[in-house]
Amino acid sequence: MNSYDKRVLDLSLKAGSILLECGAEISRVEETIRRIGKYFGVFSTSPFILSNGVFLTAENEFRQMYAKVRHIPLSTVQLSKVDAVNRLSREIEEGRYTLEEAEARLEEICHMPGKRELTRILASGIGAACFCYVAGGRLMDCLASFGAGFVLYVFLIALGHREKHTSKLLVNLVGAFLATGVGMFFYHLGIGKQYGLIVVGAIMPLLPGVSFVNSIRDFANGDYMSGTIRLIDTLMVTFGIAMGVGAFFILYGKMGGVLVL
């Protein structure tokens, strides 16, 4: 296989890897790899995608084979990169990019920064407050949830700077414990009257909504293995959150705290 074909396939593989790592569904990854390969003249691409891996094979007219495998860790969702790669693949198909330009653009996308930390922290607080309101909370309950969600993401970002490979189960357990504790702290200060709704709002930023939806989409598209992997990951995160909330209330009861139902 000549160097041009290899560059095309490397480009396709990199685009698919970015999509998968940032939370795209399996069908989108496969479609993008095939679309890029087809436009640049490589028609026999055969991608096999799992939730944590990309397997790509191709064959040219001389029956020379190309095969690559890339491990993709299950990580945080970054939909801005998914949108950028998706747009790039369609613009490639429209003829707006040469191979060199597409490689350069994909490299830019790869190093695209995420949202600012302050934006993420505020979004966590506002999201927690909104979920508290939707669940039936009053203004002061929402304010307590905002504070808990705000502190939660300060902790998560600080932990991410310090520890790059912390167990997802442990992170969500400790995060839920902290969010519940902060919510109950505000409750005891008299900020909010419905501690259950405060806690519900506080832990919402931890819930893996995109991962769960993608697992269902994978099942619907017949990608049962990928759907199962993502669903198990979602259930483990949910289990960690439940353990964190439960651990706090057990400790709270042991310390003499009284909950009025």
Domain that holds residue 106: 3-110
Residues 173 and 78 grouped into a single domain: no
Give whole-number Cα distances, 217 to 30, 53, 87, 131, 223, in Å: 14, 18, 21, 24, 9
pTM of the model: 0.80
Residues 227 and 190 grouped into a single domain: yes
Q: Per DSSP, which regions of 192-244 are E strands? A: none
Reported as a single tens digit per residue, the pLDDT across 136-150 is 999 999 999 999 999
Measured CA to CA, the distance from residue 241 to residue 10 in angstroms comes to 39
- Quick one: pLDDT at residue 226? 82
* Cα 41–Cα 58–Cα 91 angle in degrees, nearest 5: 40
8 Å CB contact between 172 and 206? yes
The low-confidence residues of the chain, meaning pLDDT below 70, are 1, 60-61, 74, 163-164, 257-261
Residues 89 and 189 grouped into a single domain: no
Task: Indicate the residue among 62, 92, 110 that finishes a domain.
Answer: 110
Question: Residue 60 in 3-state DSSP?
Answer: coil
- Quick one: pLDDT at residue 147? 95
Please report, as a single letter, which amino acid is at residue 168: K
Measured CA to CA, the distance from residue 19 to residue 192 in angstroms comes to 41
User: Within a 10 A sphere around the Cβ of 222, how many other Cβ atoms?
Assistant: 10
Residues 55 and 155 grouped into a single domain: no
For residue 145, give both structure tokens: 């949830």
- Quick one: pLDDT at residue 187? 92
